[in-house]
Structure 1
Amino acid sequence: MLPSPWSELHLLLEKASTEHLPCDQAERFPEQAFSRLQQAGFQKLFVPAAHGGGLQSFEDLLQLIRRLSGADLTLAIGYGKTFLGAVCTWVAGTPEQQDQLASDILAGQVMSWGLTEQGHGSDLLSNTLRASLQEEQYWLSGSKWLINNATRGDQITVLARTSETGGTRGFSLLLVDKSTLTPQQCQSLPKVPTHGIRGADISGLAFHHAPVPVARRLGREGEGLETVLKALQLTRTLCAGLSLGAVEHAIRLVQHFAGERQLYGKTMLELPMVEHHLGQNLALLGALQAVSCYAARSVHTLPGELSLTSSLVKAWVPTVADEVIQSCAELMGVRGFLVGAFEKLERDHLLVGIFDGSTTVNRQNVIHQMPMLVRGLKRPAVPAQVWENTVKLQGDLPPLPWRNLSLLTSGCTVLQRLPDLVARVEALHHVGQVGPDLFSLALELSNLWGTLWADLQQEPLAPSPAPASAFQRVMQLEECHAAAICLALWLHNPSIREHEDWLHAALGLILQRAGQLPMPEPRVFQNLARHQTFWWEDREVHHA
């Protein structure tokens, strides 16, 4: 059994609250906080329930990362790396490999994921670390670089070249247990100084004719890149939790500072311009929460779309989160530049945008999938029950589909359903349950999507390299996707329907980002700043 999860986690993070800044300033990993999490058993959420762990809902895992990030991004990224190091085993490993790794993680072992190499960045096809097969043994030679937990980790999943010619079928995944190698065979590379997450173990490993049994290969030889691309769909979705926690932390710090700061005989929180900015940030936070929650649930219900959904989410969520944090920095004034909690989270979060494929890499992935998106949107919609289980927060979720991920999208259900969503808003407007302003925004969203849909059908396949116009279309698609999700969750959940001001503000800001509308009226943001109530704040996990 998992501990009573969020109350115990809150107490653990409170205990560690004085440790984050000293560790960051000393560029030292927060080992004490990490150990407390391990002792409390939260690593169970990195292991599927079928193998003795506590991971049944991807939404639960997102919640864990979100809450850790709300305290310290360095801790969240270092702790969550064990899931990243294990995910390829859950996607492609044999039952025996999965059971063994589950046992290791539950016993407290720390994982890492060795994808990148110096000089190659996101270009995994250029990687040179070689695994040569001789009888029943691979021999690893080469280095992995800029790897989180490379030195601290007990095991590392390594993407290795198994064919001299490389190519899409020239790489395989090997699960390397560092304890089986001598110091001469596996050598830790120096920690790399970073602007953000200064305490994180961002280092590397150098392998010198290191033996790895064939039984430690994940999947068949040559399937490594395919497995990585599938696994990235899950890890990119999980990155949204890092952004959510950081934004929530930033807003809490602003509220605390502005609630104590006196100006013109009032607290800063009472000043109209501060209310305006804070309300905007709260509206976008709600949108970030909605998009992240939808993506986490769609891992279960719409796995065939996850190659697209995860890239849209990974491009949009950290980008908007950076903008919200920057807006909070303006409210903090000079205190946002002083060494402290806000200054740390601001520079820490800048790195989230490049994790698991940068914003540009994810947008390029969407561009490549445009023809599949167009074809998918013309197919019949998914069954109503699948859709409702995705957007109704109390809906049943099927088991995690580790083996059902696809490299190419089967469509985008939330955009396919957008005309129906707008029609529901219109019907509610006619009976007086939706105000004219919100109805007008829904129509504007429908018009934006209609124009973009027409463009996609006329030119679905962008040339390579993709022109700037293709990236502009993807950015419009991100905004339509986010706005449609906000509308869908608002319509399908009574607890969210209570917050019409939030939806009004969120849709208005998203449409403004898309260049469709001017800023919504200030009163909408002032109402949000004064009430500060959000639907996702106290959602519970469904642990084993």
Structure 2
Amino acid sequence: MTTTADITGTTATGHSWWESDARTRASRLEALLGDPYDPANPHGLRALFAADARSVPPAATEELLAGTDLGAEFVPVEYGGRLTRADLLARVLRPVFRRDVALGFGYGITSLFATGAVWAAGTPAQRRGTADLLLGGGRATILHHELAHSNAILRHEFTAGTTPDGYRLNGRKDVIINAARADAQVVYARTDPARGPHSHSVLLLDPARQDNPSVRHLPRVPTPGMRGALFSGLEFTDHTVPADARVGSTGEGVALALRTFQVNRSLICGVVTAAADTVLHSAVRAATTGRSGPIARRWHKPLAGVFADLLACDSMATVVLRALSLLPDRAHVFAAAVKYVVPDLLRENLEELATVLGARGYEHDSPEYGALGKLVRDLPVAGLGHAGTASCQSVIVPQLRGLAEHSWFQEAEPPPELFRQGAELPALDYRLLGLAGGGDFMAASLVGSADRLASYRGLGGQIAALAALAEGFLTELRALREECRRLPAYGTTALADPAVCVLSDRYSLIVAAAAVLGVWEGQDGRDPFLANPAWALLALSRLGERLAIPVPELPDGCLAQVMDELVRRFRTGRSCDLDGITLAQ
């Protein structure tokens, strides 16, 4: 078995062994999946789009992924898997999501979402058995996801009454991903009829023991997006469950969901940006095809702007995924903020790219241009729609008064390793994940960044504009503090007030700005483009416009620098995220 002690250390390039190994695995998977635009590639976009049109999983690509032991990515390293840190897992999964969000969910990532509760609170036997299942190529699914009400587990879908030997499970759920082919089921069931934080418990079920009339498999449910994923239902009628199937304590289900969802929310945002990356490449292709000269100037603003937004999304997601290892008891609110901001940015980005793609964006079977329509359909089904926004508000709003009174402008900055690529971080340990109440390290980071940039405001150029923007976001945080201090003592009562929910919009955009500034400051110079302020300046300008704060004019050359980098990455076949990895072609 591989242990944590076996794989620590730093390589000659300055990256941790874990990070270098994740880069290698990601590159290997990218190469195995091959050129996505090759019409003869059985794992290319043409084949994946065809499977989506038939509403079937891409069998050949699932078989290829099985050969890579992808399930090991979801098993902690202490149990023989490859899961060391959440940010590195996102990096490894991006080649899959770059091609097909439905494949990423249907084949793999759902197993991690399901088993998070086991890694957080399972017995040694449950953890070992779950690890063996995933390492052997098995799948797990989670039985509380409901598209109509955004993963809300406080619904009466499943109830589990106690018996002398365990539980009797009843209830029905019509939309469960991989319900018919999962090898383990993690059920969030009501075990207490009273409403409250201790109403639900988690049960780990073995479908192999369900060949009896108490379990009924329901028909497949067609979905408007992620059509290649298999959604169907399950109905339990007085199904007996042994006592040792419970994960954690009785009534711990809500707390386990809240703790593990911060991994799920952040990880989704960290991988779906790769799918948007594909659409951006399509748009650059559309803008360059048939032209011998530079891209038409009218496309510079949308293309460079979306590129900057993707870097901002990646900054947010990467920072919170790293925080899950470095600050596991303090990442809860920030994880909700990431899930709040990133889907909105991606939806807006797709609208901008649609103007560049024009009629090509409707060529749904085209490997060069069909990614736009597919991603527009897939994002809401992947939990990145309006209902997901409401669930994030329910996490953020109740914390705002406490943060305003006790954290903002009072808390120390987080460790600089949070923002430094290649820095060694602890392993992700689900058992250490905490809930709200741990302060706000991102607001503290914004204060520090703005203070350090303040001395550059009179110098002119990009660095002065960046300093002005940082101060603008800091001013917005001061205003937000005053408003949040007037919120009701128990913020959940404010969720029905649209004016209060707007505060979560403002807060989330502020922490997005903090992430961009932190990542820019954390550069070590190995990537000259990321070390240059142009991308951060453009990203912050766009965030500032969304927040309606004063935004200075972009200095001369800023937009051109970002545009030049985008075209360079397109022509050299590199991704449009912070990593800029070489893509298969």
TM-score when normalising by structure 1: 0.91
Distance 1:118 1:468 in 2: 23
> Which of residues 310, 313, 320 in structure 2 aligns to 1:288?
313
Equivalent-residue separation in structure 1 for 2:270 and 2:212 (angstroms): 36
1:469 maps to 499
Indicate the residue corresponding to 1:253 in structure 2. Answer: 282
SS of corresponding position for 2:112: helix
Give the secondary-structure state (helix, strand or coil) at the position aligned to 1:417: helix
The residue that corresponds to 1:399 in the other structure is: 427
Within 2, Cα distance between the matches of 1:352 and 1:145?
Answer: 16
- The alignment status of 1:537 with 2:579, answered yes or no, reads yes
Tell me which residue corresponds to 2:8: none
Q: Distance in 2 between matches of 1:406 and 1:7?
A: 33
Q: 8 Å contact 1:242–1:352 — kept in the other structure? A: no
Q: Measure the CA separation in 2 of the matches of 1:292 and 1:135.
A: 45
Name the amino acid aligned to 2:436.
L
Q: 2:338 aligns with which of 304, 310, 313?
A: 313
2:83 aligned with 1:55, yes or no? yes
- Aligned counterparts of 2:69 and 2:406: Cα–Cα separation in 1: 42
**Equivalent position of 1:209 in the other structure:** 238
- 1:67 equivalent among 95, 99, 106: 95
Could you tell me which residue of structure 2 aligns to residue 151 of structure 1?
A: 180
Give the counterpart of 2:141 among 87, 103, 112.
Answer: 112
Q: 2:538 aligns with which of 486, 505, 515?
A: 505
- The alpha carbon displacement at 1:337 in A equals 1.9
Aligned to 2:353: 328
Give the C-alpha shift of residue 242 in structure 1.
Answer: 3.5
The Cα shift of 1:458 comes to 3.5
Amino acid corresponding to residue 374 of structure 1 in structure 2: A
CA deviation after TM superposition for structure 1 residue 102, in Å: 0.3
SS in 2 for 1:398: coil
Partner of 1:365: 395
User: Would the alpha carbon gap of residues 489 and 30 (structure 1) be closer, same or farther in structure 2, given more than 3 Å must change?
Assistant: same
Q: Secondary structure at the match of 2:312?
A: helix
1:170 offset after TM fit, Å?
Answer: 2.4
Q: Label 1:166 to 1:378 Cα distance change in 2 as closer, same or farther (>3 A).
A: closer
2:476 is equivalent to residue 448 of structure 1: yes
Would you say the 8 A contact 1:318–1:353 is kept in 2? no
AA aligned to 1:466 is A
SS in structure 1 at match of 2:71: helix
The farther-off stretch of 419-428 and 41-50 is 419-428
Contact 1:391 1:492 in 2 (8 A): yes
For the residue of structure 2 that corresponds to 1:483, the secondary structure is helix
The answer to whether the 8 Å contact 1:373/1:410 transfers is no
Aligned-partner Cα distance in 1 for 2:151–2:418: 32
Q: Quote the offset at 1:117 in angstroms.
A: 6.0
CA apart distance, 1:390: 1.0
Residue 193 (structure 1) aligned with residue 193 (structure 2)? no
Cα distance between partner residues in 2 of 1:35 and 1:216: 31
Match of 2:117 among 81, 88, 99: 88
The one-character-per-residue Cα deviations of 1:313-343 (angstroms, maximum 9, x if unpaired) are: 0110111011111111111101112323222
CA shift at 1:423, angstroms? 1.7
Question: C-alpha separation between the residues in 1 aligned to 2:169 and 2:411?
Answer: 47
Correspondence for 2:558 among 524, 539, 543: 524
In 2, Cα distance between equivalents of 1:365 and 1:235: 14
- Corresponding residue for residue 16 of structure 2: none
What is the CA distance between 1:246 and its match in structure 2?
Answer: 1.7
Q: Which residue of 2 aligns with 1:226?
A: 255
Cα contact 1:298–1:306 (8 A) shared by 2: yes
Instruction: For residue 64 of structure 1, report the CA deviation from its aligned partner.
Output: 2.8
State the distance in 1 between where 2:86 and 2:395 align: 23
Native 8 Å contact 2:48 2:100 kept in 1: yes
* d(CA) in 2 for partners of 1:215, 1:146: 27
Which range moved further: 165-174 or 347-356? 347-356
Q: What does residue 411 of structure 1 align with?
A: 439
Cα 1:128/1:43, change in 2 over 3 Å: closer
Alignment match, 1:271: 296
Q: Indicate which of 51, 61, 69 corresponds to 1:41.
A: 69
- RMSD between aligned alpha carbons? 2.6
* Residues 96, 433 of structure 1: alpha-carbon distance in 2 compared, 3 angstrom cutoff: farther
User: Does residue 239 in structure 1 map to residue 268 in structure 2?
Assistant: yes
Note the C-alpha offset of 1:357.
6.0
Change (3 A) 1:26 1:500: same
What residue number does 1:160 align with? 189
Per-residue CA deviations over 1:59-80 (Å, capped at 9, x if unaligned) read 1111133332111111111121
Any idea what the Cα deviations from partners look like across 1:183-204, whole Å, max 9, x if unmatched? 5232221221111111111222
C-alpha distance in structure 1 between counterparts of 2:143 and 2:197, whole Å: 17
What SS class does the counterpart of residue 99 from structure 2 fall into? Answer: coil
1:153 offset after TM fit, Å? 1.1
CA 535–99 in structure 1, closer or farther in 2 if over 3 Å, else same: same
TM-superposed CA distance for 1:408, in Å, is 1.6
Between the aligned residues of both structures, percent identity stands at 23
The alignment's TM-score, normalised by the length of structure 2, stands at 0.85
User: How many correspondences in the alignment?
Assistant: 534
**CA offsets 1:292-331 (integer angstroms, 9 cap, x no match):** 1101101111222222011100110111011111111111
Structure 1 residue 138 displacement after superposition: 2.0
Shift of 1:535: 6.7
Contact 1:508 1:517 in 2 (8 A): no
Partner Cα distance (1:433, 1:42) in 2: 47
Deviation readout 1:463-499 (Å, 9 max, x if unpaired): 4443111111111111110011111111122246522
Rounded to whole Å, the distance in 2 between the matches of 1:118 and 1:246 is 21
Range moving further from structure 2, 528-537 or 151-160: 528-537
Q: Which residue of 1 aligns with 2:9?
A: none
CA distance in 1, matches of 2:155, 2:196: 9
Give 1:529's aligned amino acid.
M
Please state how far the C-alpha of 1:523 moved relative to its aligned partner.
Answer: 4.7
- C-alpha deviation, 1:50, in angstroms: 1.0
Q: 1:517: how far off? A: 3.3
Aligned to 2:30: 10
* Equivalent residue letter for 1:451: A
Q: CA deviation at 1:378?
A: 5.5
Indicate the residue corresponding to 2:514 in structure 1: 484
CA contact (8 A) 2:226 2:382 kept: no
Letter in 2 for 1:394: G
2:399 aligned partner, one-letter code? Q
Shift of 1:108: 0.7
Task: Report the alpha carbon displacement of residue 159 of structure 1 after superposing the two structures with TM.
Answer: 0.9
